[in-house]
Structure 1
Amino acid sequence: MKAHQADRFATIMLWIGALAIVAILIAFLTLILGRGLPHLTSEFFNGPDGVRGQLFNSFYILFLSLVLSLPVGLGAGIYMAEYAPKNKFTDLIRLSTESLASVPSIVFGLFGMIVFVNMFGLGFTILGGSATLALLNLPILVRVTEESLRAVPRSYREASLALGATMWQTLRKVILPTALPGLITGITLVAGRALGETAILIFTAGMNVSRIPFDVNPLAAGETLAVHLFAVKSNPLPGTNADQIADGTAALLIIMVIVFNICLTLPSRWLQRRQLGRNKV
């Protein structure tokens, strides 16, 4: 009886915790979107002080950072999970990766400013911000890739190798397709973090934006929406309604993150269900 009561109490507490999290999320979205959505007009995007450039820069910097970080991060994770021998050196690499993942983003920002802005002479540019964001993403991508591949049952590898497949064929046709949902989830988390990053981009991409529509020049200034929100609240320009601009920018950021996560999460869920269906067969 006591065990049953303890189980019931634990279940109730877990439900309370889950409902509290959902309630906080709903309150947060209601507050931010309720205050910001009325300001998302055509003037807000295309006016003299519109955020069209910042919106484009947010996705452009995200795209460039993923182009720079995905090949290295996924490759390193695959090597650590499938090819690296188990010794003290690989343990040191894992420890270093985990340590880098816990470094505050502002430290990466200072590093990017010293290396890309000053040493390489790039100045405050989209390229410098993207390269520094890629460094921030790398440790997380390596760990997510390694853990996703290790979650694939060992029997899959053994069955493929027993049928005469090489290690590369096993990796390409068995392991990676099975681990793909986990990899997509990791990329989603990294991308969401990059969309809202501020400290790194203040030090590397700057707080100015090119007024050329959809400027793809990687050496142009690269203020993003998150940086714009910080600038508006910390140093409002005279004659502008900083509160309305900040509320609209915050709402737009929330909508961006939600839509981006949905666009990546739905394919991941579909792949998971498809994989479960294959496993049952």
Structure 2
Amino acid sequence: MKAKQTNALATLLLWLAALAIVGILAWFLIFILGRGLPVLGPQFFTGPNGVGGQFFNSFYILFLSLVFSLPVGVGAGIYLAEYAPKNRLTDVMRLSTESLATVPSIVLGLFGMIIFVNVFKLGFTILGGAATLALLNLPVLVRVTEESLRNVPASYREASLALGATMWQTLRKVILPTALPGLVTGTTLVAGRALGETAILIFTAGMSVSRHLFDLRLTAPGETLAVHLYAVQANPLPGTHAGRVANGTAALLVLVALAFNLLLALPSRWLQHRLSGKRG
């Protein structure tokens, strides 16, 4: 009886914790979207103080940072999980990666400003911001990739190799499809963190935006939605309706994060089925 009561109490506590988390999330969404959704409209993007340029820069810088960091981060994670020998060098590599993942973003922002803004003389540009964001993404991508691949059962590898497949075929046809949900989750977390990053981009991409709505120049200034939200709240200018702009920008950031998660999660499930040889 005592064991049953303990189990029932533990189950109740876990349910209460889960409901509390869902309740906090629901309150957060209702509060942010309730204040910001009425502000959103065509004028919010294209008006005199519209955020169309910042909206475009957010995705442009995110895309560039993932282009820079995904091949290196995923490749390094695959090497550490599948090919690297067990020795002191690989232990140092893992320790260094974990240490880099804990570095505050403002420190990386200062590093990016010194290297890209001052040494390379790029100024406050989209390229400098994306390159520094890539440095923020790399350690997390390496660790997520390595852990996702290590969670694939060893029997999968052994069965594939026993059937005559090469290590590359085993990796491509067996290991990566099985680890895909973990890889997508890690990429989504990295992308969400990059979308909401401010410190790095203030120091490297600047707090101004190009006059052209869709400016693809890598040397253009790169204020994003998160930086714009900080700017309008930190230095509200008279007559700019800073409060409404901040509420609308916050709501837009939440909607972007939700949409981004769905757009990555749904195709990844379909791709996992295709790579695993399933249909339907």
Query: How many pairs align?
Result: 278
Residues 92/166 of structure 1: CA separation in 2 closer, same or farther (3 Å cut) = same
Residue equivalent to 2:48 = 48
Matching of residue 115 in structure 1 with residue 100 in structure 2: no
Residues 272/14 of structure 1: CA separation in 2 closer, same or farther (3 Å cut) = farther
Render the CA deviation track for 1:211-249: whole Å, top value 9, x for unaligned.
112000011000000000000000112211110000000
Residue equivalent to 2:26 = 26
Residues of 1 paired with 2:270 and 2:165: CA distance? 27
Residue equivalent to 2:231 = 231
Give the aligned residue type for 2:253: L
Matching of residue 182 in structure 1 with residue 185 in structure 2: no
Unpaired runs of 5+ residues, structure 1, are none
Deviation at 1:207, TM superposition (A): 0.2
Residue equivalent to 1:169 = 169
Residue equivalent to 2:248 = 248
Residues 275/75 of structure 1: CA separation in 2 closer, same or farther (3 Å cut) = closer
Residues of 1 paired with 2:57 and 2:35: CA distance? 24
Residue equivalent to 1:136 = 136
Render the CA deviation track for 1:28-57: whole Å, top value 9, x for unaligned.
100100000001021111011100000000
CA RMSD of aligned residues (A): 1.5
Residue equivalent to 1:36 = 36
Runs ≥4 residues deviating over 4 A = 269-278
Question: Identical aligned pairs, as a percentage?
Answer: 75
Residues 65/48 of structure 1: CA separation in 2 closer, same or farther (3 Å cut) = same
In the alignment, is the contact (CA less than 8 A) between 1:185 and 1:268 conserved in 2? no
Residues of 1 paired with 2:27 and 2:165: CA distance? 53
Residues of 2 paired with 1:47 and 1:199: CA distance? 27
Give the aligned residue type for 2:100: L
In the alignment, is the contact (CA less than 8 A) between 2:174 and 2:276 conserved in 1? no
Q: Normalising by structure 1, what TM-score?
A: 0.96
Give the aligned residue type for 1:102: T
Matching of residue 126 in structure 1 with residue 126 in structure 2: yes
Residues 74/277 of structure 1: CA separation in 2 closer, same or farther (3 Å cut) = closer
In the alignment, is the contact (CA less than 8 A) between 2:177 and 2:272 conserved in 1? no
Residues 51/88 of structure 1: CA separation in 2 closer, same or farther (3 Å cut) = same
Q: Normalising by structure 2, what TM-score?
A: 0.96
* Secondary structure in structure 2 of the residue aligned to 1:43: helix
Deviation at 1:126, TM superposition (A): 0.3
Matching of residue 79 in structure 1 with residue 65 in structure 2: no
Residue equivalent to 1:150 = 150
* Secondary structure in structure 2 of the residue aligned to 1:17: helix
Residues of 2 paired with 1:228 and 1:104: CA distance? 21
Residue equivalent to 1:17 = 17
* Secondary structure in structure 1 of the residue aligned to 2:123: coil
Deviation at 1:85, TM superposition (A): 0.2
Residue equivalent to 1:258 = 258
Residue equivalent to 1:194 = 194
In the alignment, is the contact (CA less than 8 A) between 1:181 and 1:271 conserved in 2? no
Deviation at 1:275, TM superposition (A): 8.2
Give the aligned residue type for 2:8: R
Give the aligned residue type for 1:253: L
In the alignment, is the contact (CA less than 8 A) between 1:112 and 1:204 conserved in 2? yes
Unpaired runs of 5+ residues, structure 2, are none
Render the CA deviation track for 1:47-86: whole Å, top value 9, x for unaligned.
1110000000000000000000000000000000000000
Deviation at 1:266, TM superposition (A): 2.1
